[in-house]
Structure 1
Amino acid sequence: MRLTTKGLLLIAIPALFELALLAGVVEAQADAANAERWAIHSQDVLRHTTAILDPVQFESVRLRGSAVSGDAGAATPIAMWMDIDRRIDQLVELVADNPSQVERAVQIRQAIQSYRQWSDRIQDLLRSGRRAEVLDRFRDPTAEAVLDRVRTRITAFQQEERRLDIARTAAAATARERQQMLVVAAVLGSILFAGIAFGLLARGLRGRLAALSSNAQRLARNEPLAPLAPGTDEIARLDVTLHETSRRLLEADRLQARFQSDLARRAGELARINETLRQQTQENEMFIHSVSHDLRSPLVNLQGFSKELIHACDDLRAAVRASSLTATQRGHIERLIDEDISEALRYLQTAVLRASHIIDALLRLSRVGRVEYRQQHVDVADIVQRVIDAMQVSIRARGAQIIVRELPTVWGDATALEQVFGNLIGNAVNYLNPSREGRIEIGTTPAPPGVHSLRIFYVRDNGLGIPEVALPRLFNAFQRLHGNVAPGEGVGLALVRRVVERHGGRVWAESVEGAGTTFYLSLPEAARETRDVPDVAVSEAKT
């Protein structure tokens, strides 16, 4: 039998008893609340009767004072009688469930109307100057009888309501006592039946729970478990679960040991690969530096000998003019010198100059990875303004409009970041479309979800644009898409990518050919100055 079934059987009978007591408690509580409501109702009725009697008595005193002083201008406000009549209506509504009290309220209204008629007659006599007749009326015993009738009716009404109030208060007290007795009985009965149910349930479960607890402790200490407890209830199933958990933990330990071994092996391989990469990078940089240095001397010789050949051609041209050769022969030799040889020398000098520029670009690209950055707060707005000021001649020549949005402070090397923005803004200026007014915008855009430590900057132009097929190789070295538009070796964007990645960010571009290009770059925000830039920042930004 399941534990829930056992528990339900042990709890069912006490629960029925408690429900019966609870129903009695609820009924007693309702009776007490009803009795208290009626007691409050009686107090409200008594306050209404007092509010009716007090103005009448006050008006009687005022009327007597006017009769004694002979004040002919005294008059009872009509509003007072209207207020009294309204209060009587409210009183009738309050006692609408009691016909005898409704009848008494009607008698109070009649008595007050009689008094009002008598009072109006006295005031009419005062206004007509018949003071003596007024005094005679006050001396008449029937004058007191009019007011006493009002008092008598209200007093009778109040006595009946007080009697009802006493009865209702007693009923409320009785209901509260009954409620308290039922609550005490319910509490004591609940405790008694709970104790009995707990004793019956615990007597058969204590030993099995102790065995289950022992197995749980053994599992926590990673020790072998005791045999399974007999039974088909939840305790037995939980014991089965503990044994299954123990088996899986042992299997997980074996897997963990194997994974740790694999991890150590892979960590060693990764360390060796990193060391190999470091050595290859160092060797590549040394190779580039060595090759660049070694190529300098042949280029200088080529440039020098090409100049010597130019001078030799000049001498040869003069010697031909002074020779005794025929005009046809001299013309042929001069054409060879001026056209073929001069053109060959010009191509040679152009190639030498181009090779020299390529060597310089290789050296700049190799030095990017070796320069030690001086990390600090960098005001990007100040850097961008300096770059724009330095390019004023080109900007004015192109008639370009530069728009600079609000740019935040970042954490990095000021010189390297100035080189980054110089390359991006310079490219934007150089590759504007001459057929329309140039427009370049520099600003920031919100970082993507999950990236909270990087600021995203952009440099947007409406220039020539980049073909979609060329975007994947845009940041590779020596890639030039519009070689006939602006001079260069095609290493500027490669330098930008290396500098930005060394700062823990990344750079990418979006472009539509013929419409313009937007370059984006992410840089660490200034709040990261106390932390090193993790290598994983680049990979996170690329995802």
Structure 2
Amino acid sequence: MDHTIDLTRTGRIGEAVSQIRSGQGKALMDAMRIELTAIDAVEARRLAERTRQSERASAVTVSVNALAALLILILAGISVWLVRRYVDEIESARMELDRLNAGLENQVRDRTAELTRANEEIQRFAYIVSHDLRAPLVNIMGYTSELEQVGKIFDHQLTTLAERHPEDIEPEAIRAVREDVPEAVGFIRASTAKMDRLINAILKLSREGRRALAPEVLPMTAVVQSIADSLHHQVVENGGEIVVRDLPTLESDRLSIEQIFGNLLDNAVKYQQPDRPIRIVVDGELTDDGRVHYRITDNGRGVSARDHERIFELFRRAGKQDQPGEGLGLAFVRNSVRRLGGVMELESELGQGSTFHLKFPTRLIVSGDAGDRL
């Protein structure tokens, strides 16, 4: 086309017409159309192939999505079934636990009522027996005094008779009146005094068991320090010491706590090792199970392993008996500890000292009618 136009501009119109009539332009256009058709065919094939690939990819995607959705539904169904089963098991276990707890509570309530009645019966029995024993004991003590007076009268008569008629008095009679009778009266007095102390101890246990507990928040460091101060003179005169460290507070019955620590500290001072000054340490802490743990440690005589339980029995004592007592102190202490909901344990070795472990609930709860711990 450019060549034909150039021919026309230069005035060579005939050559231009001849060029057009030769058909060369049409041949070139036809060749171009063929090439373009070929290109269109290649592009069509490529488009068709890419369309098929896209359709296959779409089909695969749809299939994967459908499979994933199916798996999700299956997993969701399994999860729902497992959760439902777990919930049913929990509900069943809870109902079973509630049933067992209800039965256990009833059993505990029944056993507690039985123990309370038995304890009250024992206390009443001890109180009645103690009073019944005291009456004849008072009579024995009264008649012992009369016997003592009679002995004095006989002794005076023997003295008078010896001055007037010494030959009529036998030595056996003098020995009986002046030695045997006073000795017998002395034994009777000692025995009645011991029985009187035992009766008083039984009455003390009975009264303590019937006393209503009154919980209050106790600053234990100050409470125990006050008890230690009351023993200060007995301790320091032999070069000893009582160390009261910081103690956790406790909500419990003040009188019972004072009696418990008072008895234990007094025993530690009483049964100290003669060859070394007594050292007593009182410490404590809160435990992981929500209780309060106190320790009373001394370097006294200690207790043999075979007597660790014996010393807590009524009227039972262990070791050398060179101190006054009736074997009621530690029995009273353990009974008081149990009544406050605590436990008491002994760790001791003969000649090496002792450690008494006391564990109490941080808060004592008592019923309003019986005064017993819940």
Alignment TM-score > 0.5, same fold: yes
Provide the rounded CA distance (Å) in 1 between the counterparts of 2:68 and 2:281.
79
Q: Specify every segment of 5 or more residues in structure 1 that has no aligned partner in the other structure, as ranges.
A: 1-187, 221-241, 539-543
Give the aligned partner of residue 177 of structure 2: 337
Question: How big is the alpha-carbon RMSD for the aligned residues of Structure 1 and Structure 2?
Answer: 3.8
Is the Cα contact below 8 Å between 1:505 and 1:524 reproduced in 2?
Answer: yes
| 2:329 aligned partner, one-letter code | G
Task: Return the letter of the residue paired with 1:496.
Answer: V
Secondary structure of the corresponding residue to residue 350 of structure 1 = helix
Letter in 1 for 2:280: I
> Which residue in 2 is equivalent to 1:509?
346
* Percent of pairs with identical residues: 29
For residue 309 of structure 1, the aligned residue among 133, 147, 151 is 147
Is the alpha carbon distance of 1:394 and 1:330 closer, same or farther for their aligned partners in structure 2, counting shifts above 3 Å? farther
Q: For the structure 1 residues 304 and 331, does the alpha-carbon distance in structure 2 shift closer, same or farther, using more than 3 Å as the test? A: same
8 A contact 1:431–1:485 mirrored in 2 = no
Per-residue displacement from partner, 1:382-422 (whole Å, max 9, x unpaired)?
22222123223422444422222222321112222111111
Alignment partners' CA distance in 1, 2:108 and 2:243: 47
Match of 1:494 in 2: 331
Q: 1:326 to 1:204 in 2, by over 3 A?
A: closer
Separation in 1 of the partners of 2:101 and 2:292? 35
| Cα shift at 1:274 | 3.6
Corresponding residue SS for 2:295: strand
1:454 aligns with 2:291: yes
- C-alpha displacement of 1:499: 2.1
Structure 1 pair 482/338, CA: closer, same or farther in 2 (3 Å)? farther
Q: Could you tell me how far apart the structure 1 residues matched to 2:254 and 2:103 are?
A: 41
Match for 2:318: what amino acid? L
TM-score where L is the length of structure 1: 0.50
Residue identity opposite 2:241 in structure 1: Q
Mapping of 1:287-366 within 5 angstroms? 287-323=125-161, 326=166, 329-366=169-206
The verdict on how the C-alpha distance between 1:194 and 1:500 changes in structure 2, with shifts beyond 3 A counting, is farther
The structure where helix makes up a greater share of residues is: 1
Aligned to 1:470: 307
- Which is further off, 434-443 or 193-202? 193-202
Structure 2 match to 1:521: 358
Aligned CA distance change for structure 1 residues 189 and 483 (closer, same or farther; 3 Å):
farther
SS in 2 for 1:416: helix
Q: Is the 8 A contact 1:430 1:485 kept in 2?
A: no
Q: 2:234 aligns with which of 382, 394, 415?
A: 394
Q: Deviations over 1:162-211 (max 9, x none)?
A: xxxxxxxxxxxxxxxxxxxxxxxxxx9998744322336768998xx69x
Q: Which amino acid letter does the alignment assign opposite residue 318 of structure 1? A: H
List runs of 5+ in structure 2 lacking aligned partners: 1-54, 368-372
State the distance in 2 between where 1:352 and 1:191 align. 112
The answer to whether the 8 A contact 1:411-1:523 is kept is no
Name the one with the larger strand percent: 2
Q: Quote the residue 2:115 is aligned against.
A: 277
3-state SS in 2 of match to 1:423: helix
The answer to whether the Cα contact below 8 Å between 2:303 and 2:319 also exists between their aligned partners in 1 is no
Asked if the contact 1:321/1:330 (under 8 Å) is kept, the reply is: no
1:522: Cα distance to partner?
A: 1.7
Report the equivalent of 1:57: none
Question: Could you tell me how far apart the structure 2 residues matched to 1:202 and 1:276 are?
Answer: 66
Q: Distance in 2 between matches of 1:204 and 1:419?
A: 73
1:322 CA displacement:
1.7
- Residue 195 to residue 440, structure 1, CA distance change in 2 (3 Å): same
What's the secondary structure of 2:66's corresponding residue? helix
